Chain A
Amino acid sequence: MANKSMATRDAYGEALLELGKRRLDIVVLDADLSGSTKTGKFGKAFPERFFNIGVAEQDMIGMASGLSLTGKLPFASTFAVFETGRAWEQIRQTVCYSNLNVKLVATHSGITVGEDGASHQAVEDIALMRVLPNMTVIVPSDGYETTQVINTIADEYFGPVYVRLGRSKVPSVMPERYRFKIGKAHVFNMGKDANIIAAGIMVSMAIAAAEILKKNGIDTGVINMSTIKPLDTKTLLKAAKSCRVLVTAEEHSVIGGLGSAVSEFLSEHYPVPVVKIGIRDEFGCSGSSEELLKFYGLTPDKIVKTIKKALK
């Protein structure tokens, strides 16, 4: 249950281990980062079903694809920037084109990677995965949701999935009664003045921002759009129609991510302005994750200011 703050990658490591116990067809691949991605836990428990491919992400995706062709259910993990960037074409040509049952679960997404700097901070991975036919893209908001996502994509869905996880601890936000479903957003509440469509770590920021705004008499809703593809367009339309200002919040470039997905849909079906909070067209940099969130404006305060300005 959702009662403690934890990194989504830690929840992944636990979920994978449990999944490995109850399903013998699960195989796990990593590219020399199993300590960081937490797949090492599975590897220790089931060494014969764990493949460390070394520093070779492209080969890892091919190997995962081959394993899936023999009926195994592969989870392939490394940092988001390498998984989606270095191996993009392997994901396109093999995993997506042939619609293989390969689960790509990447950790260390976004700027909250921290001190390692821009080379290790994926702020364009959602864009890279979202553009691929047959791909499903999921960004869980906390550990509790991550566990459900991992089980759902293993037990209830056949096909390529990209799951975006983080390095740093995030507060627990999802209620105990919550049940993840692919393509179904979770509505915390709908606002009359503003609605924030958020994903990943920005969900907790959006909740904090909405509380501050409420004290200022601004009725703000929060929606966790954890599945970015396929987008929950029904909920999105409702949110856009019910308020005066629609805001998206993501730890990703405003080009190609959640904000873009929302804009693409609304521009055709219900054209309203979409205010995007995210990384502008730039790379990350070194710093602590808290410092970087402030530096790039990914904070409740920034959301509050943005909404107040938009309502003027």
Chain B
Amino acid sequence: MAKVSQATVIELKEKAKELRKEILKMLTTAQSGHTGGSLSAADIVTALYFHKMRHNPKDPKWRERDRFILSKGHAAPLLYAALALSGYFSKSLMKTLRKLGSPLQGHPCSRTLPGVEISTGSLGQGLSIANGIAAGLKLDGLGSRVYCLLGDGEIQEGQVWEAAMTAAHYKLDNLCAFVDNNGLQIDGHCCDVMYIEPIVKKWEAFGWNVFDINGHDMAAIVNALDQAETVRDKPTMIVARTVKGKGISFFEGKVQYHGMAPTPEELKKALKELDEDGK
């Protein structure tokens, strides 16, 4: 298989930077929300919405679209940034995040916002939903694919492993999931709160095809997504090793920024860092 071109990688990295900026601005305006986990998965979601997924912002319910389920619903700002920059709704709506009457609820709500496939926010439930969509698409003989993003703290939920069994049992090879393995959850380091390793071996033991990649290496993300499409009879799990708060030096690896929004001063500094990055 042809590897992704350098030009595409450069383009996607720029797009990821744009997403990060929108996330930070949105959260600063809202003055609450989840910064760290939105930034850690920004490269993955960029690769999906701006390269891999077949979707149509003008027709969010297009029958043959690929689907994305944000199982870690607290990364809502990331999803909203991807949807807004894709053209699902006006970018100005991002200013209303978490405000009364806004379609941009604190956690994604499918009834209020086009492009959100299903409401999420309570952890552990997205993979089961993704399985159901994948099974439905197969029944209809559609070649559409289903993508699902889980947090690493999230895999402490028992339902995730029920869904892991189901996806393998029903050979849902049109399903590709990610674990955003940033190593931190609200109460601290994942492996101090509740030991989650060995993540790769666990998914392999549950019958999945597993890739273990650096979740900030755009070429690695795209190549893993391409390879996942060629796998037959097995769902694919991409364990993405990431850094919480990725992209902003003073947020990186800091557990307190799991659920804390930047201050206006922090935003200024952060945007500057992103602008200077790669220059």
Residues of A within 8 A of B (CB): 27, 48-49, 51, 53-54, 56, 58-72, 74, 89-90, 93-94, 97-99
Closest A residue by C-beta to B164: A59
With a cutoff of 8 Å between Cβ atoms, the chain A residues found around residue B134 in the complex are: 66
Given A56-B165, A59-B163, A66-B130, A71 contacting B121 (CB threshold 8 A): no
With a cutoff of 8 Å between Cβ atoms, the chain A residues found around residue B277 in the complex are: none
Tell me the smallest distance from the CB of B28 to a CB of chain A, in Å: 28
Contacts A54-B162, A65-B129 given; 13 further ones with Cβ under 8 A? A56-B165, A58-B158, A58-B162, A62-B132, A62-B159, A63-B129, A66-B128, A66-B130, A66-B134, A67-B136, A71-B140, A94-B119, A98-B109
Given A67-B136, A98-B111, A58 contacting B119 (CB threshold 8 A): no
Contact in complex: A98, B139 (CB < 8 Å): no
CB interface residues, B 125-171, toward A, < 8 Å: 125-137, 139-140, 158-159, 162-163, 165-166, 169-170
* Cβ of B96 under 8 Å from chain A: no
Contact in complex: B133, A51 (CB < 8 Å): no
Contact in complex: A69, B132 (CB < 8 Å): yes
Tell me the smallest distance from the CB of A38 to a CB of chain B, in Å: 22
Contact in complex: B132, A68 (CB < 8 Å): yes
Q: Give the complex CA separation of A247 and B152 in angstroms.
A: 53
Selected A-B contacts with CB under 8 Å, 17 pairs:
A49-B139, A56-B162, A56-B165, A56-B166, A58-B159, A61-B128, A62-B126, A62-B128, A66-B134, A67-B136, A69-B117, A70-B137, A70-B139, A71-B136, A72-B136, A93-B119, A93-B122
Contact in complex: B128, A69 (CB < 8 Å): no
Q: Give the complex CA separation of A214 and B204 in angstroms.
A: 69
Q: Give the complex CA separation of A66 and B165 in angstroms.
A: 16
Ranked nearest first, the 9 interchain pairs of A and B with the lowest CB-CB distance are A66-B132, A62-B128, A70-B136, A59-B162, A56-B162, A63-B132, A66-B133, A66-B129, A67-B132
With a cutoff of 8 Å between Cβ atoms, the chain B residues found around residue A67 in the complex are: 132-133, 135-136
* Cβ of B214 under 8 Å from chain A: no
Q: Give the complex CA separation of A27 and B117 in angstroms.
A: 20
Tell me the smallest distance from the CB of A29 to a CB of chain B, in Å: 9
**A27, A59, A64, A69 pick with most chain B CB within 10 angstroms:** A59
Closest B residue by C-beta to A25: B139
Q: Give the complex CA separation of A65 and B165 in angstroms.
A: 17
Mask of B103-121 contacts with A, CB within 8 angstroms, 1/0: 0000001110000011111
Band of interface residues on B:
20 to 34
**Residue from A54, A62, A69 in contact with B125 in the complex, judged by beta carbons closer than 8 Å:** A62
Contact in complex: A62, B122 (CB < 8 Å): no
**Residue from A70, A90, A98 in contact with B110 in the complex, judged by beta carbons closer than 8 Å:** A98
With a cutoff of 8 Å between Cβ atoms, the chain B residues found around residue A61 in the complex are: 128
Q: Give the complex CA separation of A58 and B135 in angstroms.
A: 17
**Residue from B126, B133, B158 in contact with A70 in the complex, judged by beta carbons closer than 8 Å:** B133
Q: Give the complex CA separation of A301 and B24 in angstroms.
A: 69
With a cutoff of 8 Å between Cβ atoms, the chain B residues found around residue A65 in the complex are: 118, 128-129, 132
Q: Give the complex CA separation of A64 and B162 in angstroms.
A: 14
Closest B residue by C-beta to A65: B129
Contact in complex: A62, B139 (CB < 8 Å): no
Contact in complex: A63, B131 (CB < 8 Å): yes
Q: Give the complex CA separation of A64 and B128 in angstroms.
A: 9
**A63, A69, A71, A89 pick with most chain B CB within 10 angstroms:** A63
Tell me the smallest distance from the CB of B55 to a CB of chain A, in Å: 15
Contact in complex: A63, B128 (CB < 8 Å): yes
Contact in complex: A27, B133 (CB < 8 Å): no
